Structure 1
Amino acid sequence: MELLDRNGFTEREFLEQYRAGDYERPSVAADMVVFTVTDRESDDYGKLAEKELRILLIRRGGHPSLGCWALPGGFIQPDETGEQAAARELYEETGVADVYLEQLYTVTDPGRDPRTWVMSSSYMALIDSSRFQIKAGDDADDAAWFTVSYRLLGEHKELLEEGYVRTFTYELKLGAGEGELTAVIDRTVTAKPASRSVTYSIRSNDGLAFDHGKIIARAIERLRQETEQTGIALHLMPKLFTLSELQQVYEVILDKELPEAAFRDKVAGLVAETDHYTENTLQHASRLYRRNWEED
């Protein structure tokens, strides 16, 4: 016997009379924080090229935030998942496909988009930049890689009757050519006996669209955390690489120098030796490594 609800409806009868328009519904977007690591330009050809962490941004070609730089993204369609929308929008706006993609979090702050109620499912993507030629899509004026700097400026702690509120203030700098985008972002941790919450707020913003500075800050923190704990940074590497190159990638992500011996112990199970060596005639040849898929 089919079950009836409290109004005496079967499921079919309930769905026939259900009116979705009785409830206000948000638009849902998918936004991507796309990271890569590139070699810094240098005139010293006898020295190992230094690495730079970069993020992909799109200059908006329409309102709102016309002319500002934004994360690649767009609205999720009814016939696709958030992951499918993220991959589609990334390819449409930049020509980038088949990359590492993981969900960051869902952004639900009221008033974050002046057009309407918009929630965002944000994602982090990691790519080897040598595989792709970035291009801007139809709804963007330009696409560019920006260098990333995310530094702690200070912190403040306030004690509660039970618990505390601690605010960390960060400076986000994104550079491309002669231009620089900046934002100052607070990460506030509220700890009480039975709860703990983390919120982000923007103190100042110069050149970034919407609340994308907060999304970028969360992505950098996630990337740093996972780099410390996992082999996620290998998604930024080419097929073959030296251990020195991999160490540089770890260092630019974590924004600190790492002892060589400790680093090599850390990644020993994540990489595998190959029979190939570098062809740099100005230095001694270095063995090339690959990702160890058996440990993935």
Structure 2
Amino acid sequence: MTEIIMRDRNGLTEREFLQKYDASIYERPSVTVDMLIFTVFDKDQDNYRKLPEKSLQLLLIKRGEHPYLGQWALPGGFVSVRESIEEAAQRELKSEANIENLYMEQLFTWGDVGRDPRTRVISSSYMALVDRTSLDVKAGDDAEDARWFEVKHQVFQEKKTILEDGYEFERIIKITLNHEAELLAATVKITTMITGRTRRISRKIVESQGLAFDHAKIIEYAVERLRNKIEYTDIAFHLMPPLFTLSELQQVYEVILGKELLAAAFRRKIAPMVTETNEFTKDAGHRPSKLYRFNPNWENI
């Protein structure tokens, strides 16, 4: 069979085209990765007879270099030309927070012009949920400090405006991140524009205190995405130890969703996702509760 050689409008084969290709024709933006590592942790309490309250927490690093020197940011850094984005994410987690071999899923790509004062930067964000007790977090060479911050996500204001061919829905979200005496805060405006069959969503940081770059916007998006995914996936079980009570699991769902759930309805919903064991809790001050484990085959039930 005779091989067909394809030529472009200039009469070049692909090999000839690549040999002549000038990569400097287009400006090259830098690419970075930003990681959102969430966990749920027990709050300190005085009454040992009560089930400990839980809080949603996010790992942040304190920047040791310009720009935003001394401010808090998501772990991350630049992608080199000889590594994949996933490899860069794993490398940066190790260098900034001493975390290795963590499974993460890609969240979103952020590419607003001017989002980084150094140069044109496009960032790919990744999200992971982890059992905090399984990690040994330490600030690496690229960070001054690394800490877990309690995350609060609150809808502050909502407004709907009817347009001629659709509507505009605006929400003001308050984000607070707290670690002992350190308090970070930001306000993010989310605008959803519906015109005909077209839906556009934009996010704008109204104010940000103590958070570097546009990371307030990324954190707000991640919390909303997490709340959405927890409703139809098993993502919450990444936060759980191998054995847990249903009350502990419900607390994790409640702290992520930001609302209380009816116990009976919750247990019906997650029944396929858990397997009952013959073991019970042995905590002092509590009635023994049955322990469960995650059922990896729940989708087949």
TM-score after normalising by structure 2: 0.96
Tell me how far 1:100 sits from its aligned partner: 3.5
Distance in 1 separating the partners of 2:278 and 2:296: 17
Q: CA deviation at 1:226?
A: 0.6
Distance 1:161 1:293 in 2: 49
SS at match of 2:231: helix
Q: Where in structure 2 are the equivalents of 1:57-68 lying within 5 Å?
A: 57-68=60-71
Select 1:17's aligned residue among 17, 20, 35. Answer: 20
Per-residue Cα deviation, 1:74-106 (whole angstroms, up to 9, x for no partner): 111222222222122112211122334111110
- Residue 58 of structure 2 is aligned with which of 52, 55, 60? 55
Instruction: Map 1:198-237; keep pairs closer than 5 Å.
Output: 198-237=201-240
Residue in structure 2 matched with residue 254 of structure 1 by the alignment: 257
Partner of 1:250, secondary structure, is helix
**What is the DSSP-based 3-state SS (H/G/I as helix, E as strand, rest coil) of the residue aligned with 1:138?**
coil
Asked if 1:169 is matched to 2:172, the reply is yes
Does the aligned pair in 1 maintain the 2:95–2:142 contact within 8 Å?
A: no
Name the residue aligned to 1:138.
Answer: 141
Tell me the secondary structure at the aligned position of residue 62 of structure 2: strand
Counterparts of 1:113-128 in structure 2 under 5 Å? 113-128=116-131
Tell whether 2:160 aligns with 1:157: yes
1:34-91 Cα distance to aligned partner (Å, 9 max, x none): 1000000012111111111000000000000100100001111222222222122112
Partner of 2:10: 7
Match in the other structure for 1:278: 281
SS of equivalent residue, structure 2 residue 173: strand
- Which one of the candidate residues 183, 186, 191 is aligned to 1:188? 191
Report the residue type matching 1:200 in the other structure.
Answer: R
Q: Distance in 1 between matches of 2:112 and 2:13?
A: 37
For 1:183 and 1:293, how far apart are their aligned partners in 2? Answer: 38
- How many Å separate the matches in 2 of 1:62 and 1:91? 18
Cα distance between partner residues in 2 of 1:222 and 1:128 = 19
SS of 2:194 mapped into structure 1: strand
The DSSP-based 3-state class of the residue aligned with 2:119 is coil
SS in 2 for 1:228: coil
| Runs (5+) with no aligned partner, structure 1 | none
RMSD between superposed Cα atoms in Å: 1.0
Q: Could you list the per-position Cα deviations for residues 114-163 of structure 1 after superposition, in whole angstroms to 9, with x for gaps in the alignment? A: 00000000011110000012101111100000000000001122222101
Structure 2 distance, partners of 1:94, 1:238, is 21
Equivalent in 44, 47, 63 of residue 47 of structure 2: 44
**Structure 2: how far apart are the matches of 1:8 and 1:48?**
75
* Contact 1:100–1:127 under 8 Å retained in 2: no
- Which of 85, 96, 99 in structure 1 is aligned with 2:99? 96
In the alignment, the residues of structure 1 paired with residue 193 and residue 83 of structure 2 have an alpha-carbon distance, to the nearest angstrom, of 36
**Number of residue pairs matched?**
296
Query: Given that residues 185 and 203 in structure 1 are in contact (C-alpha distance below 8 angstroms), is that contact kept between their aligned partners in structure 2?
Result: yes
Counterparts of 1:65 and 1:120, CA distance in 2: 17
Q: Is the 1:183–1:206 Cα contact (8 Å) retained in structure 2?
A: yes
Asked if structure 2 preserves the Cα contact closer than 8 Å seen for 1:100 and 1:235, the reply is no
The percent of aligned pairs where both chains have the same amino acid is: 52
